[in-house]
Structure 1
Amino acid sequence: MKKQKTYGYELVMDLYECDLEVISSRKKLQEFVDTLCKLIKMKKFGKTLIPYFGNNAAYTKGFSLVQLIETSSITGHFSELWKTAYINVFSCLPYDQALAKKFTREFFKAKRMKARFLVR
């Protein structure tokens, strides 16, 4: 059996104590996606989806975002109650994960962040 090559790279970020004004603003979330794609040199595929939902439980209420990119996707889920953000950047092409982490933490003004990088 032939050894499988790397399919892609996924950066999983959990951000805590984020700025509520940022995570609760559709305009700011769009700015985040647009800027991140430019920084890590990813080409967006289609429009960004940024629905507000999750009203059945206080901790799930907030925005989510999905941005397809030509090599995969960027997703995010935001809890206004907990002031948290959960961001995934998955791409079949390599990208600067350190730059993505730094920008994401600074953009959401997170006081703490846990990040994991997966080679898939």
Structure 2
Amino acid sequence: MEIMSSKNGNLASDEEIMKRYDKEKKWGLAICIDLGECDHAKVSSKEHITKFAIDLADEIKMKRYGDPIVVFFGAEPKVQGYSLVQLIETSQISGHFAEDTNRAFIDVFSCKGFPAKKTAEYVKKYFGAKKMEFSFCFRDI
């Protein structure tokens, strides 16, 4: 599995990613987005997180399978917050929102291609994050 990250500067453009995805007939694309200094009201709102799952699926042109599952839990302040799972016909969108530190960790995996960088920027804006790192990898065997 090859991983490309914004942290080490090893990212291609969305066009290059999709061209390679199609040419090499990869099975899936996964992105991991870490957000820092998010808007507290957004990462601590079940309604905002639920709407995010719906809006992100629309943004990346994925068909949702059922409603988003958003649950609040965590015994320690460091990890306490909402977790999200949204099934999509081609896999899933998931995330965890750490209220104590105003951070969010979002993963999108699909066997249908989507624009990785554009998706990460959309997520950053949606939660009002001041910091973002993301990586992506092609899934295959």
Q: Which TM-score band applies after superposition, normalised by the shorter structure?
A: over 0.9
Letter matched to residue 65 of structure 2? F
Residue 99 of structure 2 is aligned to residue 80 of structure 1: yes
Residue 51 of structure 2 is aligned to residue 22 of structure 1: no
- In structure 2, distance between residues paired with 1:99 and 1:26: 24
CA contact (8 A) 2:54 2:68 kept: no
1:38-53 equivalence runs, <5 A: 38-53=58-73
CA contact (8 A) 1:40 1:99 kept: no
Match of 1:37 in 2: 57
Aligned length: 116
> Which moved further from structure 2: 4-13 or 65-74?
4-13
Match of 2:114 in 1: 95
Using the TM superposition, give the Cα deviation of residue 5 of structure 1 relative to its aligned residue in structure 2, in angstroms: 5.2
- In structure 1, distance between residues paired with 2:45 and 2:66: 20
Using the TM superposition, give the Cα deviation of residue 81 of structure 1 relative to its aligned residue in structure 2, in angstroms: 0.7
Letter matched to residue 46 of structure 1? G
RMSD (CA atoms): 1.2
User: Deviations for 1:45-88, whole angstroms, at most 9, x for unmatched residues?
Assistant: 1111000001x111111100000000000000011111100000
- In structure 1, distance between residues paired with 2:101 and 2:111: 32
Question: In structure 1, the residue corresponding to 2:133 is in which secondary structure?
Answer: strand
Unpaired segments ≥5 residues, structure 2: 1-23
Letter matched to residue 115 of structure 1? F
- Write out the 4+ residue segments of structure 1 that deviate beyond 2 Å after TM superposition: none
- In structure 2, distance between residues paired with 1:77 and 1:117: 18
- In structure 2, distance between residues paired with 1:113 and 1:102: 9
Using the TM superposition, give the Cα deviation of residue 117 of structure 1 relative to its aligned residue in structure 2, in angstroms: 0.8
Q: Structure 2 length as normaliser, TM-score?
A: 0.79
- In structure 2, distance between residues paired with 1:113 and 1:73: 21
